Structure 1
Amino acid sequence: MKHAILALALLLTPLAVMAAGGHGPKLEDANIDLKDQASLQRGAKYYVNYCQGCHSLKYMRYKRMAQDLGIPEDELRENLLFGDAAPTDMMTTALKPADGEAWFGTEIPDLTLVTRWRSPDWVYSYLKSYYVDDSRPYGVNNLVFPDVGMPHPFAHLQGVQAPVYAGGHGEEDGGHVIDVKLVEPGQLTPTEYDVMVRDLTNFLTYVGEPYKLERRQLGLYVLLFLGLMFILAFYMKREFWKDIH
């Protein structure tokens, strides 16, 4: 019995460590709101203008996105469609996988499900955590995703961030990066940049599960129905068994 308990404890220890968040930096709360249609529309604009050149949303159609987010078709065609793309097309990119591997050392990931296999908090924190690192190919690294292979897509908006080392010691002294600090302002203030990144994260969260709000509402209806049926079943049981008890 003691050996069985010990074996179970050893199996559960890694899970407990992961749940405690002992690995990697603490993620910031993205505080997304899928009911905020204006935020979702701004996020769609940021994705198309800054991300779609490399990253696709191959499971989402332009027309479906526009309908869900309340974007008229004329505005969709004018502001969110480029080249020969049509509203019925999937939101893909012209970048070939081979080019991505040649330029960045890896195939460029599709972002349709990024907030589901990472998390909205991860994406939000990642986009805020770039810092200068001359040892990297593009001169930047990331606190949330160390040794990142992607350049900072919003560097001109956020500005330049420097690493903050544990104990105040640099990497050459054995220190490790624990935070970042803004040393050169960008076109946006820190508050404005936070709002922009939150809008983009909000949009990517919607893309990962477009039916999320409907699913939650349907789940509420199901729970209310089950609660009502429980009450009816309870009183029917009392009525049927009253003579036996």
Structure 2
Amino acid sequence: MKKLMCFLAFFLPGVALAAGGSVHLDKAPIDLTDKASLQRGAQLFMNYCLGCHSMKYQRYQRTFADLGIPDELGTENLQFTGEKVADYITRAMPEDAAAGWFGAAPPDLTLVARVRGEDWIYTYLRSFYVDESRPFGVNNKVFPEVGMPHVLQPLQGTPTEMHEEVMVDGEMVEQYVGIKSDGTGSMSPDEYDQAVADIVNFLEYTGEPAKLESHRIGKWVLIFIAVLFVFVYLLKKEYWREVH
């Protein structure tokens, strides 16, 4: 029951916002055929996300094979928890300790793109901003009161909310217009957006690793069904010829 409550507490607010909230979700530039993007996304995930979040339904070996990464290279550069190449991708952080530090253990992210949607994740990772009232000093426009630190801040820099004064019903009010980095990160704004896109691309892949293959086979299945329908229709006409 406790795990169920933690799951609901983490996922339902984001689903509600994605479905009918006031936050505009940016379109994620997903391309599962871009192996370079998937490789970069895997590298970023392993370096910045795997410390807290696991992918316990995805194996390293399957990931390396699908992304065109030799096992030796992947083991050397993308495995940091002492696991074997055939093992599932799990975090090093103990679950009990994580629950104590964050209030609830960070969720597994294998299927997060299917639960949240790639647009939600893409916008979420680009919507952190400084909020000293929060435990980790940041908040998020897509997921208010989020309990997660901004782990990509070294890449983006310190992000702050931007507002401008606009006239509404004859009064000047401040309106939120976006988030801007202070430029202290190791990436430019465009580079950071691309890095986030790579992570989301990787998460979209792990949500359904066989998606491209399924779509390829699916086209042939539809063609087969269409051809079969013609023969079935002609056979039906032959059987019922005397009746009609």
- TM-score range normalised by the length of the shorter chain: 0.7 to 0.9
Q: Structure 1 residue 103: deviation in Å?
A: 1.6
**Match of 1:103?**
101
**Structure 1: segments with no counterpart, 5+ residues:** 1-17, 170-174
Separation in 1 of the partners of 2:124 and 2:17? Answer: 20
- Residue identity matched to 1:124: Y
Q: Secondary structure at the match of 2:218?
A: helix
2:127 counterpart of 1:122: no
- Aligned-residue Cα RMSD (Å) equals 2.4
Q: By how many angstroms is 1:241 displaced? A: 3.9
1:197–1:183 distance in 2 versus 1, CA, 3 Å: closer
Rounded Cα–Cα distance in structure 1 between residues aligned with 2:19 and 2:174: 18
Instruction: Tell me the residue number matched to 1:149.
Output: 147
Q: Which amino acid aligns with 1:50?
A: Y
Q: Is the 8 A contact 1:143 1:177 kept in 2?
A: no
1:137-216 alignment runs, 5 A limit: 137-164=135-162, 178-185=176-183, 186-216=185-215
Under a length normalisation based on structure 1, what TM-score does the superposition of the two structures give? 0.83
Per-residue deviation, residues 85-126 of structure 1 (Å, max 9, x unmatched): 210111101111221122222211111111111111111111
The residue that corresponds to 1:225 in the other structure is 224
Question: Relative to 1, partners in 2 of residues 1:159 and 1:114: Cα closer, same or farther, differing over 3 Å?
Answer: same
**In the TM superposition, what is the alpha-carbon distance from 1:201 to its structure 2 partner?**
0.5
Shift of 1:131: 0.6
Tell me the amino acid that sits aligned with residue 225 of structure 1: F
Q: Which amino acid aligns with 1:126?
A: Y
The answer to whether residue 3 in structure 2 is matched with residue 29 in structure 1 is no
Contact 1:40 1:202 in 2 (8 A): yes
- Superposed CA offset, 1:124-155 (max 9, x none): 11100001111111111001110111111111
In the aligned structure 1, how far is the partner of 2:139 from the partner of 2:75?
36
Task: Decide whether aligned partners of structure 1 residues 233 and 244 sit closer, same or farther in structure 2, where only a CA change above 3 A counts.
Answer: same
Distance change >3 Å, CA 20–CA 105, structure 1 → 2: closer
Describe the SS at the equivalent of 1:141.
strand
Q: Which residue pairs with 2:68 in the alignment? A: 70
Report the TM-score, using the length of structure 2 for normalisation. 0.83
> What do residues 159-218 of structure 1 show as CA deviations (whole Å, max 9, x unaligned)?
22222458669xxxxx89844321401221111111111111111111111111122222
- Aligned residues of 1:63 and 1:87 also touching (Cα < 8 A): yes
Alpha-carbon shift at residue 38 of structure 1 (Å): 1.2
The amino acid that maps onto 1:31 is: P
- Distance in 1 between the 2:68 and 2:181 partners? 39
Residue 3 of structure 1 corresponds to none
Structure 1 residue 243 displacement after superposition: 4.8
In 1, the alpha carbon distance for the partners of 2:233 and 2:81 equals: 63
Structure 2: gaps spanning 5 or more residues: 1-15, 168-172
Q: Give, in whole Å, the separation in 1 of the partners of 2:143 and 2:94.
A: 24
Deviates more, 1:214-223 or 1:44-53: 214-223
- The aligned residue for residue 60 of structure 1 is 58
Question: 66, 85, 88: which one pairs with 1:87?
Answer: 85
Q: Deviations over 1:23-49 (max 9, x none)?
A: 140111112111111111111111111
Conserved? CA contact 2:28–2:118, under 8 Å:
yes
2 CA distance for matches of 1:193 and 1:95? 26
